[in-house]
Amino acid sequence: MIYYPAQSVLHRLHPVVKLAALLWGTVAVFVFDSVVLPVAVVGVAVLLLWLAGIAPWRIPGMRLWLPLGGVILLTHALSVSGGDPLCGPVSTGGIISGVRAMTRLLAVVLMSVTFVATTEPVSLAYALIRMGLPYRWGYALVTALRLAPVFRVEMNHVYQAQLLRGVGYDTGGPRRWWLLLRCLCLPLLVTAMRTAHSLSLSMEGRGFGLHRQRTYVREVHVTRPDVLVAAALVVSVIAAIEYGLQGS
């Protein structure tokens, strides 16, 4: 999953607000024993992705999650009993249980995809720092996110170089995993350690961590839509707690 730059309302929403919505949505779909809620969350996530200009079926990994959801539905339909019988071991209770489990999985996946695809990683780190996260931790997060594409390119270079040297990555079985570990992962590990050492020397030379507070060229501010969405989240949490108390 990667970030898709755009200027939609969802992209401009505060990263911490979107993170809170993701966490609350994940908790809600598992806490409440309902089929309607995860189905509704899946629909809302697909709608938000569409409004943000992102096609859900084009996102990497969706071809894996959809068949997995189908397998979960089939497993529950064949193994869970209850309700009215439909066909052989399949009953209405198994279908409902399978739909609930499948939509819970898809809801979490689609909410995570929506968050990652519409939230710039650097903005997320700066927003967390502004909310009280120590800037050393925030800088570590920003550095890791920025170095990930660099290491991806470096991995491709190492892979191509090893192919030119005759490394048989196309072999099957345990030998392939040993080749990946020895010929691909080891050079990447050495490169990562060298990069981290050079970066630490550069940070030390610039006095990073000398002061408890620091200034930033770029800041993430709270806007009116952020306040409205945060208020809606608070209201939904209160309503969910009230509903749970009444149900008990």
Is the entire prediction scored with pTM above 0.95? Answer: no
Cα angle: 111, vertex 112, 116; to 5 degrees: 120
Distance CA(28)–CA(70), nearest Å, equals 22
Confidence of residue 169 (pLDDT cuts 50, 70, 90): low
Q: What is the pLDDT of residue 16?
A: 92
- Residue 67 host element (H or E): helix 62-79
Q: Taking the domains of the chain in order of start, what are their residue ranges?
A: 9-119, 126-205
What distance in Å separates the CA atoms of residue 121 and residue 209, rounded to the nearest whole number?
A: 22
DSSP-derived secondary structure for 94-145:
HHHHHHHHHHHHHHHHHHHHHHHHHS-HHHHHHHHHHTT--HHHHHHHHHHH
Report the alpha-carbon distance of residue 117 to residue 207 in Å, rounded: 34
Q: For residue 55, which of 128, 19, 6 has the smallest C-alpha distance?
A: 6
**How high is the pLDDT of residue 25?**
92
Least confident range of 6-10, 29-33, 142-146, 177-181: 177-181
Tally Cβ neighbours within 10 Å of residue 208: 15
Other CB atoms within 10 A of residue 125 CB: 24
Residue 151 reports pLDDT greater than 70: yes
pLDDT at 124 over 90: no
Mean per-residue pLDDT over the chain, rounded: 82
Three-class SS state of 86 = strand
Which residues, 6+ apart, have CB-to-CB distance to 14 below 8 Å?
127, 220, 222, 223, 226
Q: Which residues of 87-110 are buried (b: 16+ CB within 10 A; e: fewer)?
A: eeebbebbbbbbbbbbbbbbbbbb
What tens digit of pLDDT does each residue of 36-92 get? 889 999 999 999 988 888 887 777 777 788 888 888 888 888 887 777 777 777 778
Contact 22, 124 (CB under 8 A): no
